[in-house]
Chain A
Amino acid sequence: MVWNDVVAQFGPSTIGGLAFGSIYALIALGYTMVYGVLRLINFAHSEIFMIGTFAALFVLNLVDLSAPLSGLALVGMLLLLIVVAMAVSGGAAVLLEQVAYRPLRRHGASRLAALISAIGASIFLQELFALIVIPDVFHRPQQGGRLPVPGPRLVNRDVLFSIGNANVRTDQLIVIVAALIMMVLLNQLVNRSRIGRGIRATAQDPEAAVLMGVSIDGIVRLTFLLGGAMAGVAGVLYLMEFEVTNYFVGFALGIKAFTSAVLGGIGNLRGALLGGILLGLIENWGAIFFGSQWKDVIAFIVLVVVLLFRPTGILGESLQKARA
């Protein structure tokens, strides 16, 4: 390993890491919000993301792009994809809560039961796409719908500008900027609105929140809707960046996003953002030294080390403290 190589790769790796990290962060928000309100790890959240990629692909197939877009057409198309994917993923998340979690909560089932239900829902959604949606809606019945489904090229990989030796491509910039906008909007919502106060109040003391006229069921539904919508945006950005998806696409991304949430401090929105970006960067920087096949290993070693020293994650407060 020559030092010059490291220097040369550092810039590009940073840009790539930021783009990856933005997607992790968007998905991590859903894990962290649901955990904050229900103390539940929603393992089916990765499938909500997967559904988002397919919602975007469905629209792109309808439009039947002949060439990559640019300028206003690109912005308009992205907005359309984002709105559709947010609606579909958000709706799917709300439905998931209604079917897989609410009945359990109503009967006072343990959190472990809800966790099993989450894993079951995750497998159900994957198989639903492999066995029915991909063969029938996307007309790819080969190998039981388990092959990757390619999407069109939405945007050219032009270099927009350079920072030092790092070239920033259009697609990377879109991912980073779009993710940033969504996070600012969500932050606005959570910190400066009735809904956000309801969510935070419920997370801190559900009993007291109810007695202040907050409907827990309503807040839980909203939390799933918002988290799902963010995963939908992540789905659009992922599809644009990788131009392919499959029924299993949520698995790896979901685990990374969940890791981001834990790294940043689960239950904390800014923690999810920070954890996502950090994970993306660390993976890519690590890959300079060890090769990209070691990415995942590096990511999880970092997670373990951080948790050894800060068991609640970087921005996480211990639960006892937060509830005192």
Chain B
Amino acid sequence: MAGKQGKDLALSMLRTLPRVALNNIRNNPGANKPSKRGRGQHGGDKHGAGNKGSGQRQNFMRTGYETGNNPFYLRFSYEPYYKGHHLRREYPPLSLQQLQMFIDTNRLDPSKPIDLVSIINTGLYDFRIEWKHAGVHLTDEGVDNFKAKVNIEVQWASEPVIAAIEKNGGTITTAYYDIHCLHVIKDVDRFFTTGVPIPRRLLPPSDCLEYYMSAETRGYLANPEEISRERLVLSQKYGYELPKIEDNPNYEMLTQRKDPRQLFYGLEPGWVVSLKDKAILKPTADYLKEFYSS
């Protein structure tokens, strides 16, 4: 028993104790809260409510009432700090440290492009559309420990994050998904059971159109030539030598991009995926093809 700690100690103590059986187990003391209050001498008296007054009678004043003072919550005029807050998109953060952990623990496969779908499918990224979540904000926490070479698509990224990924020889894109697409991405399995065609991705709204068209932020609507120039500019700004992705054996994977109308790699908008029949149904009518084309 000497030297044993924690679980091992507890288990070794059990060896000398009587057999754990139905008749000799009980819950922790105090685990069960009694549903009735004591009467008479058994905890009767005040029942923990104290002596006299609003505490005993539970006739508390209304919240914020200051017994006649001008209440604090009415003392100042209204200022709309949160005006439109319920409409604004939120990008829950994902740090580079977490991303590296996902890769190290086989939650993400760096040999394939990483996008919002694969990040949500790890099950470790809390994504709630009802909270106006709109995608991943990749943050620079753990930037020094980030070693992976990835082709990643996020919704928001800062300059040091872009530099960290490109320094390792990876590529990054920022892309926008509208709310309807996010509902599809959130639970892909469930969506495929509905039998609805994959929707086409809408273009970004005016408030973030500039972000997604800019080459500095690696927007998905930016000119690829400008992006390659900006990659060089950023490498000079941060003082690292830009690895040539053309020489990389994974060149095709690293340069793989989704179409601006596309949701999933390998699947086009308008297609219906049947998991049950393991079949893909594609639209044949001309007006459908025209509708879904980018």
Real binding pair? no
